[in-house]
Structure 1
Amino acid sequence: MIKNTESDPEQLREIIIESIQEKKGKQIVIIDLTEINNSVCDFFIISHGESGTQAKAIAQNIEVKVKQTVNEKVYHREGYENAQWILLDYSTVVVHIFQKELRDHYKLEALWADGAISQIGEVE
């Protein structure tokens, strides 16, 4: 399996957060998984949109900004079809963009509570 040349996870994390904020993503959370043995990635970033259209706009903005800034394409993406839960996998950083109802249902923050969880302020 061939992967992209990986960007610095912290830099990628910051680009993704800014991209979410540009599209008014809600309740941005970072889960730092670097201290967890055998974790799937270094960081989860979780946010939600108020509609499927907004969730898609957030995800698309992330893809564009990451490509423009560090020339990295998303390794794997899922969920654009119904836009209830869009996943963007950048290998070291995995992004979850939900619609609120599904986010409340799956509670990823609780599932990965062993990681260090940080809340990021929203841009008004």
Structure 2
Amino acid sequence: MNTSIKLSSGNVTERMNQRLDVIVDAMQDIKAKNIVKIDLRKLTDRPTDFFVVCEGESVTQVASIADNIQMRLKRELSEHPKSVNGGLVAKWVCLDYFDTIIHVFYPETRAFYELEDLWSDGEFTTYEDV
């Protein structure tokens, strides 16, 4: 007996929008700066559907932002990352949620990797600093 539930594309889109809203809100909770969402769905060679990128002003803030995102997604949507790279003293934490990859950078690290330039063909949404 197959008990799997098939989601319609509307449900998938709604769930993805919920996830993106929680991610951005969790970033803003911890006063992340320069939040950008990059929609990559129209690109054929994309590694994921969305990148959400922000920065913190210290390694402590970078870790706190990443921790808050994980906590909120777990609590509100019962979602867990596929992988987490970086840590307590990292200048870059990457959270992989399959179709959404979150990058929390220290400003100099973000400038070095130029992620937004690499994926400039995507559709960008910027959020005002809170």
* TM-score (norm. length: structure 2): 0.86
2:67 aligns with 60
For structure 2, the 5+ residue unaligned runs are 1-11
Q: State how far apart, in whole Å, the 1-side matches of 2:41 and 2:16 are.
A: 10
What is the aligned counterpart of 2:107 among 100, 104, 113?
100
Partner AA of 2:90 in structure 1: A
Q: State how far apart, in whole Å, the 1-side matches of 2:101 and 2:117 are.
A: 16
For structure 1, the 5+ residue unaligned runs are 1-5
Q: State how far apart, in whole Å, the 1-side matches of 2:41 and 2:97 are.
A: 15
When Rg is computed on C-alpha atoms for both structures, the one with the higher figure is 2
3-state DSSP of counterpart to 1:50: coil
1:13 aligns with 20
| Deviation >2 Å, runs of 4+ | none
* TM-score (norm. length: structure 1): 0.90
Instruction: Please show how residues 1-124 of structure 1 align to structure 2 within 5 Å.
Output: 8-123=15-130
Q: State how far apart, in whole Å, the 1-side matches of 2:94 and 2:100 are.
A: 11
Q: State how far apart, in whole Å, the 1-side matches of 2:100 and 2:119 are.
A: 14
- Tell me the CA shift for residue 81 of structure 1: 4.7
Q: State how far apart, in whole Å, the 1-side matches of 2:58 and 2:85 are.
A: 17
Q: State how far apart, in whole Å, the 2-side matches of 1:13 and 1:82 are.
A: 25
Q: Which has the higher contact order (CA 8 A, sep 6+)?
A: 1
Give the number of equivalent residue pairs. Answer: 118
**Percent identity among equivalent residues?**
36
Deviations 1:21-73 (A, max 9, x none): 00000000010011111411111000000000000000000000000111011
Checking the alignment, whether the CA contact within 8 Å between 2:63 and 2:88 is kept in structure 1 is no
- Tell me the CA shift for residue 102 of structure 1: 0.6
| CA-atom RMSD in angstroms | 1.4
Partner AA of 2:64 in structure 1: A
Q: State how far apart, in whole Å, the 2-side matches of 1:10 and 1:32 are.
A: 12
